[in-house]
Amino acid sequence: MAYFIPRSARTVKLEIFKGLSLVDTLVAAVGVIIAFFIMKSNVMPFLVSAIISVVIVAIFLFLALPSPIVPTQKSYQTLKTVYTYLSSSKNYVKKEAGKNGKK
């Protein structure tokens, strides 16, 4: 017996809480893991590594929150959109002015 999955059910994201998907949790977890390894390293003094760890956790948590620019996207999705726009090739052509300075 074949069970068919409707198209609307195929695009459903896995959400842990409302508005918090699995990818958002992974992004925040990566930031916490990086901060943990910075704290465990003895390369820098404790205060310096603590400040750097707090900054890294804040940056990664900001990436997991909704974007202030586009409220329907997460910040990491907005950064990807901005990066793809800035890295795309653009051709600017100067149009010649016609009669009376109008185009």
Report the greatest alpha carbon distance in the chain.
75
In this predicted structure, the answer to whether residue 94 has a pLDDT above a threshold of 80 is yes
Query: DSSP letters along 6-60, please?
Result: PHHHHTPPPEEETTEEHHHHHHHHHHHHHHHHHHH--SS-HHHHHHHHHHHHHHH
- The pLDDT tens digits for 48-92 are 999 999 999 999 988 888 888 888 888 888 889 999 999 998 888
In this predicted structure, the answer to whether residue 42 has a pLDDT above a threshold of 80 is yes
Residue-wise over 9-25: b if at least 16 C-beta within 10 A, else e?
eeeeeeeeeeeeeeebe
Domain boundaries, the chain: 13-87
Per-residue pLDDT at 89: 87
What pTM did the predictor assign? 0.66
Read off the amino acid at residue 15: E
